[in-house]
Structure 1
């Protein structure tokens, strides 16, 4: 009888942006738990250092995804470490200013779009140049329910997240014939430090208490609750898995059914 054992599937090779904390970190750790090899980046050097020190299963580097040269370096180093690329998760984004369009500085508008939209474009372009020729891969972009509705005092954020839906649809059409799937996830209000900062900024701008703003955020969803980073990670990993092999060009909303913003 042959002693040769059947080889299982190769571990997924995953690159995740903005993964020193929040959704990105939760997703990275869950991919590792699933058996994947994961390379991460973050613009916050100190946070990244702490994360890599705490989680020896992860490797990564500092990267501001709005900078073309830094994204090129990220993919060079990431692909060298991983030995290729099967999954890209674009988590990088910033909240942007809390102000009406009439009072908003153009520089604040541009910075928000640069990180949220330009950064995702740069990473998608780099991934497409790898995944297209190899004939396989999955890209998951992080949009938002803000990309489905208007969002008073958050125009650049809503605009960038709306645009990511168009980028996702278009890239799915371009790469689909080559076996690459592209989807986006639209989280609702995700509990955590970032949401705390958004609530504080909205309270300061409107004169409400933070508790009142927090309640308002939960009341806009049918389930009357925030979603968690784990909820988003679960969806991302499903889309990147064999179970999601025929899903592409889709917007998966994980928000408890937002009724209005």
Structure 2
């Protein structure tokens, strides 16, 4: 990292999972603004293709389901000639909104497959070249939901707590080899996913989506949710902090204060 330069990521290539939309697209834009080349991955080829076309020639894409070992291995082989020095594990799914007793084992396993196993598989595939070179940065996108109650969302909350635990332990393993590993825990991010949650909450309570949203953001010090652009900016900031390793950063507009 070369903090304070015009393009601190110039000459570096980043790999962003779940990069075709939402937070992944915002993170990709932020990395591009700091001079990186970016490879985005995801399961939806159409979204990946559209994002790459919209963001320009410094973005390429590969289709990959990060929960599948064979697809992650194929991804690593396809990028063998790329020097991936920044890995952002962003791919994740929200999972069911229901009491634990009504959640199927299949739904539970799907959430952990993407949100936790995917981080494990991507780190396992792309860390060896970084540790071999003695440099690299990994940022895992977790969530404040891994650190506070969020009723009827046990698979998601448990998976994000697992990501934080993976991050802190992995940092101790590869930090001595020159690679930083950190996690970013956004609070609720305004966009389609939260709109879905407010709609489901309104159906459960008999109120409106607007009322569900107002009650939710009232718990935030800033009285709002964070934005996708703010998450991208936080990733940029973390990569400009060379002493940051094994940390989990809250970005919640004051929803969580520790």
State the partner residue of 2:4: none
SS at match of 2:61: strand
List gaps (5 residues or longer) in structure 1: 1-7
Cα shift at 1:9: 7.9
State the partner residue of 1:113: 112
Contact 2:182-2:245 at 8 Å conserved across structures: yes
State the partner residue of 2:76: 75
State the partner residue of 2:253: 256
Distance 1:185 1:87, change over 3 A: same
Cα RMSD of the aligned pairs, angstroms, is 1.7
Task: After TM superposition, list the pairs within 5 Å mapping 1:1-261 onto structure 2.
Answer: 11-57=11-57, 58-80=59-81, 83-241=82-240, 244-259=241-256
How far, CA to CA, are the matches of 1:184 and 1:121 in structure 2? 13
Contact 1:16-1:38 at 8 Å conserved across structures: yes
Cα shift at 1:198: 2.3
Contact 1:60-1:78 at 8 Å conserved across structures: no
What TM-score do you get using the length of structure 1 for normalisation? 0.91
What TM-score do you get using the length of structure 2 for normalisation? 0.92
Deviations 1:23-71 (CA, angstroms, capped at 9, x unpaired)? 1111112211211111001112221122123223210111111111111
SS at match of 1:86: strand
How far, CA to CA, are the matches of 1:205 and 1:98 in structure 2? 10
SS at match of 1:190: coil
How far, CA to CA, are the matches of 2:192 and 2:102 in structure 1? 26
Cα shift at 1:14: 0.3
State the partner residue of 2:5: none
**Number of aligned residues:** 249
How far, CA to CA, are the matches of 1:79 and 1:194 in structure 2? 34
Quick check: 209-218 or 110-119, which moved more? 209-218
Contact 2:144-2:256 at 8 Å conserved across structures: no
Cα shift at 1:128: 1.6
Deviations 1:165-211 (CA, angstroms, capped at 9, x unpaired)? 10000000000100110000000010112222222233233433111
How far, CA to CA, are the matches of 2:128 and 2:202 in structure 1? 44
Structure 1 residue runs of 4 or more that deviate by more than 6 Å after TM superposition: none
Distance 1:176 1:236, change over 3 A: same
SS at match of 2:79: helix
SS at match of 1:225: coil
Cα shift at 1:10: 5.1
State the partner residue of 1:5: none
Cα shift at 1:113: 0.9
Cα shift at 1:259: 4.8
Deviations 1:62-95 (CA, angstroms, capped at 9, x unpaired)? 1111111111122222343xx2111000110000
